[in-house]
Amino acid sequence: MSDRLHGKVALVTGAGQGIGAGIAAALAKEGAAVALAGRSVAKVEARAAELTALGLTVLAIQADVSVRADVDRMVAETVTAFGQLDALVNNAQDSTKQRLVDVTDDDLELAWRTGPVASLHCMQAALPHLRETKGCVVNLGSSTAITGDATFGSYAMAKEAIRALTRVAATEWGPDGIRVNTICPAALSESAKAWGEEHPEAFARVLKSIPLRRMGDPETDIGRAVVALVSDDFGYLTGSTLILEGGRVTLG
């Protein structure tokens, strides 16, 4: 626990579980007031209750980021509750998994609406408030798009669109003092744990491909990196992609 982000307000989408929950916890433990948003109100309320029990300042908000009205309400509720908005973390994303030959228009629509379109809508809704605070946006990309992993076609397309959105926003919003960056994380979330239990040999191969020989922790590895991005420590970084995968993937 610290006051590193005292006085700042953050909104995290897809915060009911996994990486989103880890990011929200890390931000709250560093002193930020955090709105946890997600489609499942039960999940975000459960996460918020855990953080409230620690004496942290959080708010649970039910919101489906693929619905524009939900996005506008989510941002409005955050600002009404906490008075401002300093950081938006676009973590929510849905998709299917299949080879390109089997990708349907419905698969593309799902990935597109919950990924780059939702991220853009969240950013548009947050923009007036981020201008006031000279805040920042952290979008989530994926190394599956950078490496071109098989069966991730629609997901990879969506994630690379988000990285492009990040670069354009950094250019357009930089004069307002707003920073926009992307992270590409790999973490041992609930779904990753379940997959590892179902496919132990494949999971072992994945770990072997990571130089640090472990998956990241959603809170301490991914969340604390987001804390750094949100803080003044990275006040000169914008339009960039930060790979948080233990060395498995690099850019440059």
CB 149 within 8 A of CB 209: no
CB 188 within 8 Å of CB 215? yes
Q: What is the CATH number of domain 9-187+216-244?
A: 3.40.50.720
Q: Residue 98, class by beta-carbon neighbours within 10 Å (0-12 exposed, 13-18 middle, 19+ buried)?
A: middle
Q: What is the pLDDT of residue 190?
A: 81
Q: What is the pLDDT of residue 199?
A: 87
pLDDT for res 161: 98
Quick one: pLDDT at residue 196? Answer: 87
Contact (CB, 8 A) for 214 and 246: yes
Tracing tokens 């799902």 back to the chain, one arrives at 110
- Confirm whether pTM is higher than 0.85: yes
Among this protein's residues, is 155 annotated catalytic?
Answer: yes
Average pLDDT, the chain: 95
Q: pLDDT band for position 149 (50/70/90)?
A: confident
What percent of the chain stands above pLDDT 70? 100
Q: Of these residues, 155, 159, 182, 185, which one is catalytic?
A: 155
Q: Where are the domains of the chain?
A: 9-187+216-244
Task: Please write the tens of the pLDDT for every residue from 107-116.
Answer: 999 999 999 9
The phi, psi pair for 235, rounded to 5°, reads: -65, -10
* Chain segment 82-109, per-residue pLDDT in tens: 999 999 999 999 999 999 999 999 999 9
